[in-house]
Structure 1
Amino acid sequence: MKKAELRKIYKQKRQDLSFLEIQRLQKSIYQQIYDLDIANIKTIHIFLTLAKFKEIDTNPIINYFRSKNIKIAVSKSDFTNNTLTHFYLEEDTQIALNTYGIPEPKNAVQASEKDLDLVFIPLLISDEKNYRVGYGKGFYDRFLNNCRPDCKKIGLNFFKPIAKISDINEFDIALDKVIYPDCQFE
């Protein structure tokens, strides 16, 4: 299936999830993150949750890495060229919604993509080769292309990967891992 069709299907599937289903699925995702080997991780990048799209709540993940004294970076979106700029998320960093309703840091120090050891990536669905379907603007593919080759790229998703995304292209970047719940719903 092609990305556009998958995007439509999985946006709807996510919207159809109940509050209790999301809580149960997130619990499984969080446990898998807490079980990761983070011995060599100094700085992570994570997305701030878009609640209106029922994205995974990243606050418990942020709190976990903060408790391990690992630096956290988040992004600001530039829709004129579909790129991301990265900033350190400190305890006193102010977060505000941009004109698109995306939470972004307001008073933060800029971070370099080259300093990131681990990036958590939002997605709608992935395939068995760890290619992903996002919202379709290419923000994360551009961003991940600028990260160090040894930077770990982990997607977070509520749904089990499908067999194949049929229209992968040379700009798509496969992730190192996709974490999804081990307790799928019936």
Structure 2
Amino acid sequence: MEKSELRKQYKQKRKQLTEDEIRLRSLDLLRQLKETDVFENQVFHIFLPIEKRKEVFTWFFIEFLRMKGKTIVVSKCDFKTTTLEHFRLDKDTILKENHYGVPEPIEAKRVMPKELDVVFVPLLISDSNKYRVGYGKGFYDRFLAECREDVRTIGLNFFEPIDHITDVNSYDVSLSEVVFNSN
């Protein structure tokens, strides 16, 4: 199936999830990751959830990372260039929603993509080759291309991966890992 059809289908599936289901599924993703060695790394990039889009509730991940003394990095979107800038998220960092509902840091220390050890990647659905369908603007594909080759890119997926996304392009970046909820 092509990305545009998958995007439509999985946006609809996510709309049907309740707030409780989102939180339970998010906790399950975190639980699965705790069983791996991923948290032995130090610098983590994580997306802040757009709650109206029923994204993974990453605040659970952020609190866990804080407890472990890890460095947490979040992004700010530049919609003119469709690129991301990255900033350290500390307890005192002030966040403000942009006009798309994405929480972003107001003032914070800038972090370069090459400094990241792990990137948690948002997605609507992924396939068995670890390619993802996002919202279609390419923000994360451009961002991941700027990271070190050894960065761990981990997709957080509420749904089991499908077999194959038919219209993967040369600029699509395959993830290192995908963590998903079993249906």
TM-score, structure 2 as length reference: 0.97
1:18 Cα offset (Å)? 2.1
**1:52 is matched with which residue?**
52
Tell me by how many angstroms 1:39 deviates: 5.9
Map 1:53-132 onto structure 2 (within 5 A): 53-132=53-132
Letter in 2 for 1:174: S
- CA offsets per residue over residues 6-65 of structure 1, 9 Å max, x none? 000000000011233223322211201222213641100000000010001101101111
Q: Structure 1 stretch 141-150 or stretch 31-40: which is displaced more?
A: 31-40
Partner SS state of residue 38, structure 2: coil
**Structure 2 equivalent of residue 164 of structure 1:** 164
Q: Compared with structure 1, are the counterparts of its residues 39 and 103 closer, same or farther at alpha carbon in structure 2 (3 Å cutoff)?
A: closer
Which secondary structure state, in structure 2, belongs to the residue aligned with residue 178 of structure 1?
Answer: strand
CA gap 1:55/1:39 in 2 versus in 1, 3 angstroms: closer
Unmatched 5+ residue regions in structure 2?
A: none
Match in the other structure for 1:177: 177
Residues of 1 paired with 2:71 and 2:23: CA distance?
Answer: 26
Aligned 8 A contact 2:22 2:57 in 1: no
RMSD, matched Cα: 1.1
- Please tell me the residue identity of whatever aligns with 1:19: E
Q: Give the distance between the partners of 1:22 and 1:144, measured in 2 at CA.
A: 26
Which aligned runs of 4 or more in structure 1 are off by greater than 4 angstroms?
none
1:55-79 deviation line (CA, Å, top 9, x unaligned):
0110110111111111000000001
Measured against aligned partners, the alpha-carbon deviations of 1:76-123 in whole angstroms (never above 9, x if no partner) come to 000101000000000100010012221000121100101000000000
Q: Deviations over 1:122-159 (max 9, x none)?
A: 00000000000000000000000000000000000100
Count of residue pairs the alignment pairs up: 183
Structure 1 unmatched ranges of 5 or more: none
Q: Deviations over 1:143-185 (max 9, x none)?
A: 0000000000000010000000000000001001111113x2x
* Secondary structure, counterpart of 1:163 in structure 2: coil
Task: For residue 154 of structure 2, give the secondary structure of its aligned residue in structure 1.
Answer: strand
